[in-house]
């Protein structure tokens, strides 16, 4: 029963930004659950190398793409259709950030961050609606998962103003989409990671040592692990998560819920 409840055998998934960091953790989790997974990355060599490595877990397809413009998202969808065809799971994970002191935070820190973190996920959903609608049923909806951030829910003092604003926006966009797409048998949820060992937290870590100030900020006193984020995504994409939509699920060791 439990194995079947979280089995994704035969499901087709697209994970943007799936070659590195959280995206790779998610892509590997979906592959281990039985899904066919296409991943994107800005750099073709990184994307292809990651797909080759993850192919040991299941069928993994590289689709390099720089998702800073709506046109690039539309073109990615066309290449996905040619490579895979239908779609059951869309994970909008590709993200961009910018940090800096408020006195000198530049105007150029806004357009690309908002485009990648908010507009691109919307464009991906819009363009893939035919596939998502075709594969969803009342008992087994198609899934859209947007990756947010604790910085979009509470003040984290990261000095990443455009990033925090964009993540708050994707949380609300997820709820709007969930309401509009429920009748098409498509669920939309936001997964909200806290601090994981990725490039975005590199300045908090020195090899295996983590800044004790950061750990003190996290009620569970550790960074997130790959299985933490992958487990929530697999749940949402499986039979076990078929009745969940419009949710914002923190995966953060208690930063949001215990704060």
Q: Is residue 257 part of a domain?
A: no
* Dist. CA 113–CA 226, nearest whole Å: 25
Write out the residue range of the structural domain in which residue 126 sits: 2-251
Q: Is residue 256 part of a domain?
A: no
Marked catalytic residue, from 80, 161, 163, 243: 163
* Dist. CA 187–CA 161, nearest whole Å: 29
| Arithmetic mean of pLDDT, 86-109 | 97
* Dist. CA 187–CA 202, nearest whole Å: 33
Q: Which residues of 37-67 are buried (b: 16+ CB within 10 A; e: fewer)?
A: bbbbbbeeeebbebbeebeebbebbbbbbeb
The pLDDT of residue 209? 81
Q: Is residue 232 part of a domain?
A: yes
The pLDDT of residue 203? 61
Q: Is residue 258 part of a domain?
A: no
Q: What is the CATH number of the domain that holds 184?
A: 3.40.50.720
The pLDDT of residue 210? 86
DSSP state, residue 118: I
Q: Are strands 60-62 and 205-206 parallel, antiparallel or unpaired?
A: unpaired
pLDDT band for 175, please (50, 70, 90 cuts). Answer: very high
Q: Is residue 259 part of a domain?
A: no
For residue 116, what are the contacts with CB-CB under 8 A and spacing of at least 6?
67, 68, 94, 95, 96
163 flagged as catalytic: yes
Q: What is the total count of domains within the chain?
A: 1
pLDDT band for 1, please (50, 70, 90 cuts). Answer: very low
Q: Is residue 40 part of a domain?
A: yes
Q: Is residue 121 part of a domain?
A: yes
Q: What is the pTM of this model?
A: 0.95
Residue 247 and residue 188 in contact, taking contact as beta carbons nearer than 8 Å: no
pLDDT band for 207, please (50, 70, 90 cuts). Answer: low
Q: Is residue 68 part of a domain?
A: yes
């Amino acid at each position: 029963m439990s194995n079947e409840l979280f089995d994704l055998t035969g499901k087709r998934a697209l994970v943007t930004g799936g070659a590195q960091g959280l995206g790779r953790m998610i892509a590997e989790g979906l592959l281990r659950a039985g899904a066919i997974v296409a991943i994107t990355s800005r750099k073709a060599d990184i994307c292809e190398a990651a797909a080759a490595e993850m192919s040991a877990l299941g069928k993994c397809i590289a689709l390099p793409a720089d998702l800073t413009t709506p046109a690039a998202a539309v073109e990615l969808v066309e290449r996905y259709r040619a490579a895979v065809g239908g779609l059951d799971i869309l994970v909008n994970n590709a993200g961009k950030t910018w940090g800096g002191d408020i006195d000198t935070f530049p105007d150029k820190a806004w357009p690309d961050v908002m485009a990648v973190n908010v507009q691109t996920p919307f464009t991906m959903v819009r363009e893939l609606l035919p596939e998502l609608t075709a594969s969803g049923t009342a008992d087994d909806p198609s899934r859209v998962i947007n990756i947010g951030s604790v910085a979009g829910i509470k003040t984290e003092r990261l000095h990443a103003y455009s990033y925090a604003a964009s993540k708050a926006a994707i949380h609300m966009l997820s709820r709007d989409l969930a309401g509009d797409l429920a009748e098409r048998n498509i669920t939309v949820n936001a997964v909200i990671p806290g601090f994981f060992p990725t490039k975005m937290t590199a300045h908090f870590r020195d090899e295996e040592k983590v800044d004790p100030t950061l750990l003190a900020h996290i009620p569970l006193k550790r960074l997130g692990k790959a299985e933490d984020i992958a487990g929530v995504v697999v749940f949402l994409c499986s039979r076990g998560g078929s009745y969940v939509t419009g949710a914002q699920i923190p995966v953060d060791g208690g930063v949001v819920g215990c704060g």
